Structure 1
Amino acid sequence: MNFLLDNWIWLLTAAASGGALLLPMLGKGGGADAISPAEAVQMINREKAVVIDVCESAEFSAGHVVGARSVPLATLEGSKGLPTNKTLPVVLVCASGARARRAAATVRGLGHQRVHVLQGGMAGWRAAGLPVEKSA
């Protein structure tokens, strides 16, 4: 017992650092795997991943991942924009990643097995210097 009392600062430091290591895992959101923009590009090129942008139409028109499908979050459940092959990887994108994390639970509920959220959303995509397409 004296050991714990004498070394409480070290125990507190160890607990805090362990919590800091677990924090990124907890932030991935809703059972979906968060992937970096580079990982998303590899998945698109190698595994024919389908990119679904869950932003509103005006946001989508202002700039989106090249080849992405626009399926606003509110229309996700009844949409025909999701791939019929539920084994294809799906990469969900929004402006920052928050809506995409919410959409991940819905897409998984619709039976898609490989659901991923783009870390940082379109802001992360642009920061990585990757191409952005605009709609007319």
Structure 2
Amino acid sequence: MRVGASSPSCVWYRSFPSICSTMPLGLTRIPLLHYLIATYLCMLPGAIAYTYLGYAGREAVAGGEGLIQKVMLALALLAVVAFLPRLIGRLRQGPTMNIDALRERLNKEDELLLLDVRTANDYQDKLGHIVGSLNIPLEELESRLAELTPYLEKPVALICTTDRRSKKAAQILGSQGFADVHVVIGGMTQWNKNALPVHTTTETSDHLREIQ
């Protein structure tokens, strides 16, 4: 197979100026070595697939032998490229925890930190929040990481309304060296569906009215 403008090495060479400019401009906080390795590994399958498709196309036009095998291999490479982002997303998300597992951990009263990354208003809304949870909104998480330093090596469970914000928070904490981060699947929505206890502002207001 001829090495040309679409070869993997050429694609990598063309991307290198972009990589070099991204780091000094502060467009990413990922360490340089990790950034280079991840960029190359993520680009390589696509570059190989792109190159091989060109090769298979030329063979098809020329009527080369083994055309069916080449086409099947090309389709397999395309499938790998198509599903690779999902796989990477799952790996970046890290471990998960369902509601039953969370409840069991909370009942054990171990060192687990339950971090609720919803906004302050959502934390107090009708879904309520779990007693003992710490509320740091996702938007404030990076600026308040110092508050979580004691939990760098301890288990942290992330919860939100569903689990979307928790997944983003898990990526942030993972990039900052937190070793044991879990996303609570289903979030407070699932917690409420299971009819588990929550604390809400409404309950507090009703209690105050009873006292008065």
Shorter chain as normaliser: what TM range?
Answer: 0.7 to 0.9
Counterpart of 2:176?
A: 110
Shift of 1:89: 0.7
Shift of 1:43: 2.3
8 Å CA contact retained: 1:70, 1:81: no
Alignment of 1:1-136 (within 5 A): 30-46=92-108, 47-62=110-125, 63-79=128-144, 80-82=146-148, 84-135=150-201
8 Å CA contact retained: 1:92, 1:118: yes
Shift of 1:83: 5.0
> Which stretches of structure 1, 4 residues or longer, exceed 4 Å deviation after superposition?
25-29
Label 1:60 to 1:112 Cα distance change in 2 as closer, same or farther (>3 A): same
Shift of 1:45: 3.4
In structure 2, how many angstroms separate the alpha carbons of the residues matched to 1:101 and 1:69? 17
The TM-score, its normalising length taken from structure 1, stands at: 0.72
- The one of the two structures with greater contact order (alpha-carbon pairs below 8 A, sep at least 6) is 1
> What is the letter of the counterpart of residue 113 of structure 2?
V
Structure 1, unpaired ranges of 5+: 1-24
Shift of 1:85: 3.0
8 Å CA contact retained: 1:30, 1:102: no
Structure 2, unpaired ranges of 5+: 1-86, 205-212
In structure 2, how many angstroms separate the alpha carbons of the residues matched to 1:98 and 1:77? 17
> What is the letter of the counterpart of residue 68 of structure 1?
S
Question: Equivalent residue of 2:132, what SS?
Answer: coil
Between Structure 1 and Structure 2, how many residues are aligned? 113
> What is the letter of the counterpart of residue 171 of structure 2?
A
Question: Equivalent residue of 2:161, what SS?
Answer: coil
> What is the letter of the counterpart of residue 198 of structure 2?
V
8 Å CA contact retained: 1:77, 1:110: no
